[in-house]
Structure formats: structure tokens, C-alpha cells
Structure 1
Amino acid sequence: MNWITNYVRPRINSLFSRREVPENLWTKCPECGTMLFHRELDDNLQVCTSCDHHLAITPRERFRNLFDGGAFVEVKVPEPVADPLGFRDQKKYPDRMKAARANTGEKEAMLVAEGEMGRTPIIAAAQDFSFMGGSMGMYVGNAIIAAAERAVKLKRPLVLFSAAGGARMQEGILSLMQMPRTTVAVEMLREAGLPYIVVLTHPTTGGVTASYAMLGDVQIAEPNALICFAGPRVIEQTIREKLPEGFQRAEYLLEHGMLDRVTHRKKLRDELISILRMLTGQPAPVAGDLPSPAPTETEQAQKTA
């Protein structure tokens, strides 16, 4: 037995060998280039700690931070026909769907849930841009209708988080038909006297912007979110002119009256609670996630006196 070869050399190599680091521990901010540790980024709700850029967040992550205690129940969405047009480009449509489901762990591009936010019962729906660009297909249309019907049945407000590149081309005209379908769903809420709040996140474009994403009773956007029908590059190529700085970004739309608020993600939950309780005629919230206590008999007598 060679003691140096069999013991000393492997021992030295183990001490000085390069340790493998998992690739998913760090995320590079697309805005400022800062490398962000995954735990720090999760604690900051996927917002860059250096430049405050809002990175993409999945519907489940959003709901865990939105609902009280992170607890929510998914609302069942009717399944549409899997491949109505038999569409194929470089890949078959079913193959693209399998890949998207494997990459995201989600069934489709929208998640619908019910729960309480600041002790206020709500229905929430959120699009997942990582699932085929959050594209609006028949499932997304069914999801919004299911959310509206559930809200009407339980007499709850509906809060929707949009994030989409537009209609899903693999479903053709059937995808475009979701624009009027979702508009009818929003009208159901209006007829029932229920609040409908839309939070537009980056990016919200195409047919989504031309339908349910711009029909809210209150329109809120995350900072610097791109919100448009046709993108700025398409417009510049069409009119052959340079567009203004920040054109079609959330702050620009707020200045021009298309939005009601631009709210930081870390302040969004508290703002939604305040707006929902105001629109539903409930007492204003107090510290934490609790609503204000009911007035005492003495306070009630003073008000009526």
C-alpha cells in the first residue's frame, strides 16, 4: 500500500478541490446587474434590494404573501379542449404545453384562489408569465369566468393580477374570443355590485390589455410595468419617430389618467386591504391584518347624538 498515493493525496485534494455551488442560489437583477441571494430576494418579495426593480413573481408566491397566513384554497377551473386547432409550428401545441407544465409546475397560465386578506374574504386570480408568456387562451378565459362566478356566489370582491404577452396564437380565433367572454364576466361582477380590482404587473400587453385588464373599478400597477396593446418597438417602426422616455410604463400611464395608483409590491397588500374594505363598506383596517373593532354602545350613541 502506497500511503502517500492512497491517503495523503486524496486528503489534500479534498481540502483544496473546488466545491460545486447550486446554480439557483443567485439571481442577476435584469435592471442593475446586481447578484441577489435567493433567500434575500424571497424575503424582499422578488424586488431587487439594490435598485428596487420588481422581478417576476409566480402566482403561488404572490398568493402566499397576499392571503392571511399564506393560506388559500384553489378554485376549480373547467378544462377546455386540449388542442382545438391541431396547431403545429416548430413543435406541436401539446408538446409546448407539456414543456410549460414541466418548467413551471402549473397546469396553465392562470391560478384562481379564495381566502382572506386582512380578514376580508376575497377571490383572487393571477397570471403566470413564465407559462407561455402568460398568454390568454381558453383556459385563462374559463379561469376568469370561474373567478367571477365564485365571487358572485360568495358575494366577494375579485382581485386580478395581470401579466401577459397577449392572446395565445396556438388557439387562434378561440383565443381572441376570450376578450368578449372575460368582459361579460366583469359585467357579472358589476351587476352584482361587487368590486373588481386589477393589479397590472410587468408586462401586460396585447388582447389582455384590450379586455379584462383595463376594466377594473380600481386600476393599480407595479412600478415600471410595461402596459400596452402594441409594444413601443412596433409603434416606433410604424410611425418612424422616437417615443417619449418611459412611454407605456406604469408611471407614464398614471400621469395620463389611465391608472389610479402605482404601488410598490411591499405596500400592495395593505393598500388592497384598505381599498377593499372601503368599497365593501367595512371599517378601516388597523395595525397588522386586523380590521378595526366594532364601535361600542357609547361611541355609537355619540355618533347618533
Structure 2
Amino acid sequence: LNFKGFDEKLKKAIERTGRRSGIITFDASVFDIKIVVAMLYSDFRSGTVGSAEGEKFIRACDRARTTRRPFLAYIHTTGGIRIHEGTLGVIQMPRCTLVVREYIDSGGLYIVVYDNNSYAGPVASFLGCSPYQVGIRSSRIGFAGPRVIRETTGTDVPPDYHSARNALKRGHIQGIWDRREFRKNLFEALMTMGGPHLYYK
């Protein structure tokens, strides 16, 4: 869409991080359980999702389905959909949601963990459709972030408006984890939540 300065900002993000997108996908093990992970991180354009991020997320989810493994979306940060890419950015919401629903419907275990700041389109679509969403205690979760709310309504929200505790009260997440016990909690979740006929029980 020829947003002024966007190409230069993208180039700087690539040079600074040594990566070409805001998502990292990899295989991991939690004790003896093998999983597939997709992680959005803040250093590359605030974890926004564009066509590259959407494609990598979809491929990771497909890998989890074909290898019959749990799929973890670990959201270090996401600032939403990368609107600079126009339709190519926005369409990642339904694309990723469809592949996640196919994975879940086939018996897959899809867990989303929010860390730091998680806002906007991804939270409202392919992250929000997980039946198992938890927040790290210090995380901030919501659709519109504080700055967007201020710019559109002219009002400031309370400091704890987007806190994990309030997200839990509203039913947006199903639990809050302490960062120090993340590995233990994830292992317990993998052993007790969903998908027993597809995986390792």
C-alpha cells in the first residue's frame, strides 16, 4: 500500500533481529512430550502479523496435525495485524483461524499462552479460538490497546484494564500462570487437556 517509510522500517527490523518475520516456529519437548511451537515476538515490528507470519503459523499448525503433536502458540507480544500489507495482512486472520479449527476438529490440542502485551486481530481470531488460553501473570491482553482506546475515544482506561486478572474475570482466558512455573504448568496442561485420542495417552 506504499505506506511512507514502511519498507525502511522493515529493512531495519531484519537487520536488527537477523530474521525476516515476527514469528519463530520450532519443535520442542516438555519433559517427554514433543510439541510444535509458534512464537510471536516483540523485536520484529512488535510481533505484528503479516503474510509471512501467517504462512509460518499455518505451516507449523499443519506440522502439528500431521505429526500428531500438541500445538503451542506462545505470544511474547503481538501488536495486531500488519495493516501496512493491506488485504494480504488482514486475510491472515481467517486463514490462520481455518487451519486451527481443522487441527482442533481433528483432535489436536491447541494451547495459547499470552506473555507481555497481546492485542488486536490475532487475539480476536486464531489465538482467541483456542479452548485453552492462559496468561502469564504480568501479561496484558485485549482487543484494543490503551493507545488505540485513547485515540478513538479520548479517554484513558484504568492501569489494570488489560491485566491477566481482568482477562480471566471476563472469560477471555482460562487461567493465569506464574512465569517461574511455566514449564511445570505446561506439562500438566499437556497431560490433562483435550485431544487424548490423537496424541500420547
1:144 paired residue among 38, 54, 57: 57
Q: Give the equivalent residue in structure 2 for 1:198.
A: 112
Letter in 2 for 1:137: G
Which of 260, 275, 284 is the equivalent residue of 2:189?
275
Note the C-alpha offset of 1:143.
Answer: 1.2
Structure 2 gap segments, 5+ residues each: none
CA distance, structure 2, for counterparts of residue 241 and residue 132 of structure 1: 26
Instruction: Give the Å deviation of 1:242.
Output: 5.5
Deviation at 1:124, TM superposition (A): 0.5
Which AA in structure 2 matches 1:143?
K
Deviations for 1:34-76, whole angstroms, at most 9, x for unmatched residues? xxxxxxxxxxxxxxxxxxxxxxxxxxxxxxxxxxxxxxxxxxx
Residue 232 of structure 1, aligned match among 146, 150, 154: 146
Write the distance in 2 (CA, Å) between the matches of 1:220 and 1:241. Answer: 28
Residues 236 and 103 of structure 1, relative CA distance in 2, 3 Å threshold: closer
- Give the AA of the match of 1:199: V
Q: Tell me if 1:160 matches 2:73.
A: yes
How many angstroms does 1:234 deviate by? 3.5
Tell me which residue corresponds to 2:164.
250
User: Matched residues in 2 for 1:140 and 1:264: separation?
Assistant: 28
Equivalent position SS for 2:140: coil
Alignment partner of 2:21 out of 104, 108, 126 = 108
Gaps spanning 5+ residues in structure 1: where?
1-84, 283-305
How far the C-alpha of 1:241 sits from its partner, in A, is: 5.3
* CA distance in structure 2 between the aligned counterparts of 1:207 and 1:226, rounded to whole angstroms: 15
CA 1:239–1:103: 2 relative to 1, 3 Å = closer
Contact kept? 2:6, 2:84, Cα under 8 Å? no
2:42 paired with 1:129: yes
> For each residue in 1:259-291, what CA deviation from the matched residue of structure 2 results, as whole angstroms up to 9, or x when unmatched?
111112221111111111223549xxxxxxxxx
Amino acid at match of 2:52: Y
SS state of the match for residue 212, structure 1?
coil
Aligned CA RMSD, in angstroms, stands at 2.0
Q: How far does residue 224 in structure 1 lie from its aligned partner after superposition?
A: 2.8
Q: Is the 8 A contact 1:201 1:221 kept in 2?
A: yes
Higher-Rg structure is 1
Distance 1:206 1:242, change over 3 A: closer
1:258-269 maps to which residues of 2 (within 5 A)?
258-269=172-183
| C-alpha displacement of 1:237 | 5.5
Q: Partners of 2:184 and 2:154 in 1: how far apart?
A: 43
Whichever residue aligns with residue 164 of structure 1, its letter is: T
Number of positions where the alignment pairs a residue of Structure 1 with one of Structure 2: 195
Q: Does 1:212 align with 2:126?
A: yes
Distance 1:98 1:241 in 2: 35
Query: What do residues 176-221 of structure 1 show as CA deviations (whole Å, max 9, x unaligned)?
Result: 1000001001112112101100001221111111112212121111
CA distance in 2, matches of 1:152, 1:281: 14
Q: 1:148, 1:185 within 8 Å by CA — same for their partners in 2?
A: yes
Q: Distance in 2 between matches of 1:253 and 1:115?
A: 28
Q: TM-score, normalised by structure 1?
A: 0.60
Measure the CA separation in 1 of the matches of 2:130 and 2:64.
15
Q: Is residue 2:93 matched to residue 1:185?
A: no
Q: Does the 8 Å contact 1:110/1:140 carry over to 2?
A: yes
Rounded Cα–Cα distance in structure 2 between residues aligned with 1:240 and 1:171: 28
SS of residue in 2 equivalent to 1:216: coil
Q: Which runs of 4+ in 1 moved over 6 A?
A: none
The higher-RCO structure (CA 8 Å, 6+ apart) is 2
Identity of aligned residues (%): 28
TM-score of the superposed pair, with normalisation by structure 2: 0.88
Check the 8 A contact 1:121/1:156 in 2, yes or no.
yes
User: Aligned partners of 1:128 and 1:244: how far apart in 2?
Assistant: 26
Distance change >3 Å, CA 281–CA 141, structure 1 → 2: same
